[in-house]
């Protein structure tokens, strides 16, 4: 299984009296393996099928969950049991610590591996002294985990490379800047430029400015791109976007080129000597973008797959590491940083169905159904920042109802997500679309053709995003069905509040000190400083910190963790790392 060729295929021809040799039996195995590998690679692709999630166990240890993947040659990689290892015990860690690299990232990779097992005596081997020749009876297929600071060389293995192009325009001084554009855009149509900024260990805020020269793009010939880290919440990566519109042409490339000499970089307000360069190109087409992508894939995939026969691994995680001499701490783990996933038929079918359902919810008018249940809601944005959904349901009353008898609908999805939703109910005079509707107390409107006298109520399940309608008859009725119109309302500001998770943070989020230095830490919850905080140092000999957050470093170098706990809410907790150096 070490061969990386896909063709040509040869299989044994059997006949009575044929003498089977080692070559014949190996040819049999090779034929079946190569057939399976070519289907895996050309039909399914490369990446993780399921599992292999990487999680931190503690400050120096990670765990890789069991899972299945297909490598670049179509070979199966199976991790049968969870693997827990110290980072320093994984191949490649020592090379990283001894190398002066620009970033603080390590990538955990997995690749196919096999080894011989079960040594046996070979009867055809010749004796060497008193020793006899030994062969191995089997190959054991397995995997090899290792660490590297290098990113993947061949981005064509990733699905995103089919529809977008990413260029690194600057990578020095612990800063990396990348530009991403779509590969194909129709003429006279908008597209988005994504600028990704990575802070690879700089403690001081980053800011930069550069000019982009535009070709085949409407508007100005040159635009300015600016970024200031102080305008964002502190993170390792940031993304800013700009929209452009292509000229009304076809068969040309829209280009966004960094203007030479225009790049200005500041770290902590100090100008740095730096130069950025690179050009992003967007192919302007006249037809459908999806069709163009498919056509180009079918034309070029064969050549691309066949030529990439060198060893290429699957990147399971990007691990952020803080080092101080021989001491290291895992600062964070990001699983599957390059999205090397594979969809199987079950998952692809579910995603397609979900996409269709969402499309129906967006565009379908309200429908009623002649059974207990609900039509699909119609969702709209109100001018006052509200989210509103409407629908109707027909509730089966059987052969009618007596006074005080209750009837209930099935659970109805309102489509506004989880959380508190307000429901307004109205009773229809009949089952037709043009029937009048009564909102509020029954019996106020006396008409010849009136609604059934009932009391309506709605019960909302805030954890499921659904509700039920209850009906209580106020007088006997012989009607068999009752139509109820409903309107669900959710405050748009409440939607934003749900998405915002208020957490405690410590400022600064990481710090470098010399031994016996002091520094004042501040705990912040949301945007407000928190005064009622219990401060502590995790390590017993990691220095001291008083009740006001004043930290005094110890007499020896190392990496120490500062912990803050809210005295009002024990669930509010945060920590930060201090790297103490013996300067």
pLDDT in tens, 568-579: 777 788 888 888
Q: How many CA atoms lie within 13 A of 443 on its CB side?
A: 7
Min mean pLDDT across 53-62, 95-104, 290-299, 574-583 is at 95-104
Residue 111 CA to residue 318 CA, distance in Å, equals 16
The helix/strand/coil state of 20 is coil
Rg of the chain, C-alpha, whole Å: 33
Whether the pLDDT of residue 309 is over 70: the answer is no
State the sign of the Cα–Cα–Cα–Cα dihedral 433, 434, 440, 446. negative
Residue-wise pLDDT for 19-69, tens only, equals 989 888 988 888 888 888 888 888 888 899 999 999 988 888 999 999 999
Q: How far is CA 431 from CA 343, 389, 434, 483, in A?
A: 45, 20, 8, 6
What is the predicted pLDDT for the residue at 571?
75
Residue 427 CA to residue 483 CA, distance in Å, equals 6
pTM: 0.58
Residue 77 CA to residue 437 CA, distance in Å, equals 62
- 428 is written with which tokens? 């229809």
Choose from 4-13, 182-191, 336-345 the range with maximum mean pLDDT: 182-191
Q: Which of the two residues, 417 and 261, has the higher pLDDT score?
A: 261
Q: Which of the two residues, 325 and 67, has the higher pLDDT score?
A: 67
Residue 539 CA to residue 550 CA, distance in Å, equals 16
What is the predicted pLDDT for the residue at 201?
73
Per-residue HEC secondary structure of 255-300 comes to EEEECCCCCEEEECCEEECCCCCCEEEEEEECCCHHHHHHHHHHHH
Percent of the chain with pLDDT over 90: 25
Residue 194 CA to residue 180 CA, distance in Å, equals 5
Instruction: Let me know if 46 is exposed, middle or buried by CB neighbors in 10 A (0-12, 13-18, 19+).
Output: buried
Residue 72 CA to residue 76 CA, distance in Å, equals 10
CA angle 514, 515, 517 (to 5 degrees): 70
From the list 277, 265, 279, 261, the residue with the least C-alpha distance to 173 is: 265
Q: How far is CA 496 from CA 380, 493, 500, 503, 529, in A?
A: 16, 5, 6, 15, 22
What is the predicted pLDDT for the residue at 370?
39
From the list 234, 230, 226, the residue with the least C-alpha distance to 264 is: 226
What is the predicted pLDDT for the residue at 46?
87
From the list 553, 562, 578, 554, the residue with the least C-alpha distance to 523 is: 562
Mean pLDDT of 129-137: 73
- 290 is written with which tokens? 């999806």
Confidence at 244, pLDDT banded by 50, 70, 90:
very high
Average pLDDT, the chain: 82
The helix/strand/coil state of 225 is strand
* Other Cβ atoms within 10 Å of 311 Cβ, number: 10
Whether the pLDDT of residue 493 is over 60: the answer is no
Q: Which of the two residues, 447 and 249, has the higher pLDDT score?
A: 249
* Other Cβ atoms within 10 Å of 349 Cβ, number: 11
Confidence at 260, pLDDT banded by 50, 70, 90:
very high
What is the predicted pLDDT for the residue at 359?
52
Confidence at 304, pLDDT banded by 50, 70, 90:
confident
Whether the pLDDT of residue 383 is over 50: the answer is no
Whether the pLDDT of residue 98 is over 80: the answer is no
Characterize 526-541 residue by residue with b for buried, 16 or more Cβ atoms within 10 angstroms of its Cβ, and e for exposed: eeeebeebebebeeee
Residue 32 phi, psi dihedral angles, 5° rounding: -65, -40
| C-beta separation of 124 from 164 below 8 A | no
Residue 357 CA to residue 334 CA, distance in Å, equals 31
**Number of helical H runs and strand E runs in the chain:** 5, 40
| C-beta separation of 214 from 222 below 8 A | yes
Residue 92 CA to residue 500 CA, distance in Å, equals 39
Whether the pLDDT of residue 193 is over 90: the answer is yes
What is the predicted pLDDT for the residue at 548?
85
Mean pLDDT of 532-561: 88
- 148 is written with which tokens? 């590297």
Whether the pLDDT of residue 362 is over 60: the answer is no
Partner residues linked to 237 by β-bridges: 198
Q: How far is CA 399 from CA 374, 402, 406, in A?
A: 21, 10, 13
Q: How many CA atoms lie within 13 A of 563 on its CB side?
A: 12
Residue-wise pLDDT for 165-175, tens only, equals 899 999 888 88
Mean pLDDT of 361-366: 43
Confidence at 155, pLDDT banded by 50, 70, 90:
low
């Amino acid at each position: 299984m070490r061969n990386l060729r896909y063709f040509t295929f040869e299989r044994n021809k059997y006949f009575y009296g044929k003498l089977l040799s080692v070559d014949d039996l190996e040819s049999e195995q090779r034929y079946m393996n190569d057939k399976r590998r070519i289907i895996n690679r050309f039909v399914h692709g490369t990446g993780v099928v399921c599992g292999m999630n990487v999680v931190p166990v503690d400050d120096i240890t990670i765990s890789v969950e069991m899972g299945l993947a297909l490598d670049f040659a179509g070979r199966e990689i199976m991790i049968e049991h969870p693997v827990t290892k110290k980072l320093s015990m994984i191949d490649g860690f020592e090379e990283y610590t001894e190398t002066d690299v620009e970033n603080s990232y390590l990538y955990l990779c997995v690749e196919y591996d096999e080894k011989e097992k079960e040594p046996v005596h070979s009867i055809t081997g010749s004796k060497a002294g008193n020793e006899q020749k030994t062969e191995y009876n089997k190959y054991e297929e397995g995997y090899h985990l290792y660490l590297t600071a290098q990113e993947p060389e061949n981005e064509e293995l990733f699905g995103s490379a089919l529809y977008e192009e990413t260029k690194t325009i600057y990578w020095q001084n612990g800063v990396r800047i990348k530009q991403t554009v779509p590969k194909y855009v129709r003429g006279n149509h908008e597209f988005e430029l994504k600028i990704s900024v990575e802070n690879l260990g700089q403690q001081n805020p980053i800011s930069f400015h550069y000019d982009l020269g535009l070709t085949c793009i409407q508007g100005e010939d040159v635009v300015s791109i600016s970024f200031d880290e102080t305008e964002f919440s502190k993170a390792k990566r940031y993304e800013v976007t700009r929209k452009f519109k292509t000229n009304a042409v076809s068969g040309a490339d829209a280009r966004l080129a960094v203007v030479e000499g225009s790049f200005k970089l500041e770290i902590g307000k100090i100008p740095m000597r730096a130069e950025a360069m690179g050009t992003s190109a967007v192919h302007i087409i006249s037809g459908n973008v999806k069709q163009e992508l498919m056509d180009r894939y079918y034309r070029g995939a064969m050549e691309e797959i066949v030529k990439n026969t060198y060893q290429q691994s699957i990147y399971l995680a990007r691990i952020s590491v803080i080092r101080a001499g021989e001491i290291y701490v895992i600062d964070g783990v990001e699983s599957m940083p390059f999205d090397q996933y594979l969809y199987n038929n079950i998952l692809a079918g579910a995603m397609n169905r979900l996409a269709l359902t969402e499309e129906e919810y967006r565009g379908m008018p309200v429908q009623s159904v002649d059974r207990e249940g609900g039509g699909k809601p119609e969702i709209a944005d109100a001018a006052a920042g509200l989210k509103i959904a409407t629908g109707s349901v027909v509730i089966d009353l059987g052969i009618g109802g007596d006074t005080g008898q209750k009837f209930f609908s099935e659970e109805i999805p309102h489509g506004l997500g989880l959380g508190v939703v307000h429901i307004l109910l109205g009773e229809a005079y009949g089952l037709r679309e043009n029937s009048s509707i009564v909102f509020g107390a029954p019996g106020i409107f006396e008409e010849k053709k009136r609604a059934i006298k009932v009391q309506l109520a709605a019960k909302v399940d805030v954890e499921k995003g659904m509700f039920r309608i209850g009906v209580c008859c106020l007088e006997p009725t012989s009607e068999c069905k009752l139509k109820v119109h409903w309107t669900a309302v959710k405050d748009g500001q409440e939607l934003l509040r749900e998405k915002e998770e208020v957490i405690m943070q410590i400022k600064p989020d990481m710090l470098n000190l010399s031994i016996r230095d002091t520094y004042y830490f501040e705990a912040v919850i949301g945007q407000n400083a928190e005064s009622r905080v219990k401060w502590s140092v995790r390590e017993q000999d990691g220095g001291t910190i008083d009740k006001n957050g004043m930290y005094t470093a110890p007499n020896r170098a190392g990496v120490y963790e500062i912990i803050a706990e809210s005295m009002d809410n024990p669930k509010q907790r945060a920590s930060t790392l201090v790297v103490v150096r013996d300067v």
